[in-house]
Amino acid sequence: MNSIALMEKEIEMFAKNGTDFIDDALIQRQLGGNERPVRQRIRDIIQKSLSIERLEPEETAALLNVTDTEIWNDIFEAASKIKKTVYDNRIVTFAPLYCSSYCVNNCLYCAFRSDNKDEKRRVLSFDEIRKETEVLAGEIGHKRLIAVFGEHPLSDINYITEAISTIYNVRVKTRTGYGNIRRVNVNAAPFSLDELKLLKQAGIGTYQVFHETYHHGTYSKVHPKGTIKSNYAWRLYALHRAQEAGIDDVAIGALFGLYDWRFEVMGLLYHAIDLEKHFGIGPHTISFPRLEPAANTPFIGETQYKVSDEDFNKLVAVLRLSIPYSGMILTARETAKIRRQVLPLGVTQIDASTKIGIGAYSDRYHGQEAERQQFMLGDTRSLDEVIRELAKSGYITSFCTAGYRCSRTGKCIMDLLKSGKERWFCKLNAVLTFQEWLNDFASPETKAIGEKLITKEIDEIKVQVPNIYPQFASMYERISKGERDLYF
């Protein structure tokens, strides 16, 4: 079977009569038909979200049409409460590891596009991937990565699976313990079922494929014909195939700035709904990156749909209410100032010490080189700086990857999240992993601030889960004496 026939066959597994689940006209009618929603209706929708129940499209469309500042404040407050209910005061940290910048696609908004002659292309060797990982795990202290790959024969499925294996096999001595990566998530091209099964076997964490824009006309405009990415349906159903192949955790996202942000929020919701329909679970995480400057990429300055900071706050809050069980990722595309503003609106994961130039961690350069990156970053602070600020604000940084190694994935994790039970597993493991990181990597100032927060967290554990506290206290003492990677 040739590649086109295979793609059509695997699309037909999920597309009904060749029609995908994004109906542009319906979404526009829903947005237009919910203008000027009455205050009581919005309050009823907020209450539904607070019960950790996913919203319907008409309900989300109503939220997106709110114009009253006071009601927006209610939405922002609800977003914060939902995050606290489901994920507690934890923030998970990670780092991106860009492994290749070659790409066969020609997306108008991307510096990696094939016709960008200004880009300095590179594919890391496995030895270079090991060196990058040694810095990330052994010097900075990251426990999870998102490995990023361009769509190109040089970074095919065999390269990706070997890269995952290479990352997992790195173990580096630290000042009091050791550093290693315990979860490798992947941002890569859509794959076939057979290729996705290889990813599963390699021990992939979350499989991340962003649809970029759900609006069919815009999708065609920014993804030229004749490229693999121009096939809307192949990309749209990438995560369906991943679930079918046995990958429990999948991640959706849109690139805000390509089309109307309200439409993209609706598209993300419909994506979650269709995953629920076929597999009983929605996305593990949602990302909402905005367009950022990129080398020799004039499209970014020409788009009519740039998202203001005010609207960015709104879209994050509405996503939190619409899909309350999902993790939400706020990346270093945004400035530190914006990240501070948006964090309380339901964010659960952020990256730090981020470098996206190919080979940038082990090359140890501290600036940014546009011709070496997919886009320019807004926040390049170190992990130590970010953690110190989080701790001062009452957020505990979690390096926990226990759930993924204890089969708390897929439907299991979703059920625990919706019931509010997962927050306690995560609270215990967050404290253990945070203390481990403080011992091994923190500056003296950050360690002092972090341990002050940990004291408060332990007091809460003692009161809220007294039956588990003795076991927790024993494990905490073992961590303090040098044991590593203990978890519930």
Burial class of residue 156 in the structure, from the number of CB atoms within 10 Å of its CB (0-12 exposed, 13-18 middle, 19+ buried): middle
Are 318 and 75 a contacting pair, CB within 8 Å?
yes
Tell me the CATH number for domain 90-406. 3.20.20.70
Helix, strand, coil: what percent of the chain each, to 5? 50, 10, 40
Residues in the chain: 488
The phi and psi torsions of 178 (rounded to 5 degrees) equal -150, 160
Q: How does pLDDT run along the chain (488 residues), one tens digit per residue?
A: 668 899 999 999 999 888 999 999 999 999 999 999 999 999 999 999 999 999 999 999 999 999 999 999 999 999 999 999 999 999 999 999 999 999 999 999 999 999 999 999 999 999 999 999 999 999 999 999 999 999 999 999 999 999 999 999 999 999 888 999 999 999 999 999 999 999 999 999 999 999 999 999 999 999 999 999 999 999 999 999 999 999 999 999 999 999 999 999 999 999 999 999 999 999 999 999 999 999 999 999 999 999 999 999 999 999 999 999 999 999 999 999 999 999 999 999 999 999 999 999 999 877 899 999 999 999 999 999 999 999 999 999 999 887 666 665 666 566 656 665 667 778 899 999 999 999 999 999 999 999 999 999 999 999 988 999 999 999 999 999 999 988 88
Report the distance separating Cα 47 and Cα 467, nearest Å.
Answer: 32
* Residue type at 179 in one-letter notation: G
Cα dihedral 458, 459, 461, 465 in deg (nearest 10): 150
Three-state SS sequence of 436-472: HHHHHHCCHHHHHHHHHHHHHHHHHHHHHCCCCHHHH
Task: Name which of 298, 222, 278, 225 is nearest 254 in CA terms.
Answer: 222
Give the sign of the dihedral formed by CA 69, CA 75, CA 78, CA 82.
negative
Report the distance separating Cα 396 and Cα 114, nearest Å.
Answer: 41
Task: Name which of 269, 311, 320, 268 is nearest 290 in CA terms.
Answer: 311
Are 329 and 350 a contacting pair, CB within 8 Å?
yes
pTM above 0.85, yes or no: yes
Are 291 and 109 a contacting pair, CB within 8 Å?
yes
pLDDT at residue 419, rounded to an integer:
61
Task: Name which of 405, 383, 416 is nearest 485 in CA terms.
Answer: 405
Burial 35-58 (b: 16+ CB within 10 A, else e): eebeeeebeebbebbeeeebbebe
What letter does residue 353 receive in the DSSP assignment?
S
pLDDT at residue 407, rounded to an integer:
61
List CB contacts of 6: < 8 A, sequence separation 6 or more: 192
Report the distance separating Cα 384 and Cα 372, nearest Å.
Answer: 25
Are 338 and 311 a contacting pair, CB within 8 Å?
no
Report the distance separating Cα 63 and Cα 59, nearest Å.
Answer: 7
Q: Which residue has the tokens 């501290």?
A: 366
Joined tokens for residue 323: 């899909």
pLDDT tens readout for residues 446-486: 999 999 999 999 999 999 889 999 999 999 999 999 999 88
Are 364 and 353 a contacting pair, CB within 8 Å?
no
pLDDT tens readout for residues 331-351: 999 999 999 999 999 999 999
Question: Domain locations in the chain?
Answer: 23-78, 90-406, 422-480
The phi and psi torsions of 226 (rounded to 5 degrees) equal 90, -5
Are 222 and 4 a contacting pair, CB within 8 Å?
no
pLDDT at residue 189, rounded to an integer:
96
pLDDT at residue 439, rounded to an integer:
96
Report the distance separating Cα 113 and Cα 227, nearest Å.
Answer: 11
Burial 219-233 (b: 16+ CB within 10 A, else e): beebbbeebbbbbbb
Are 46 and 322 a contacting pair, CB within 8 Å?
no
pLDDT at residue 417, rounded to an integer:
61
pLDDT at residue 308, rounded to an integer:
98
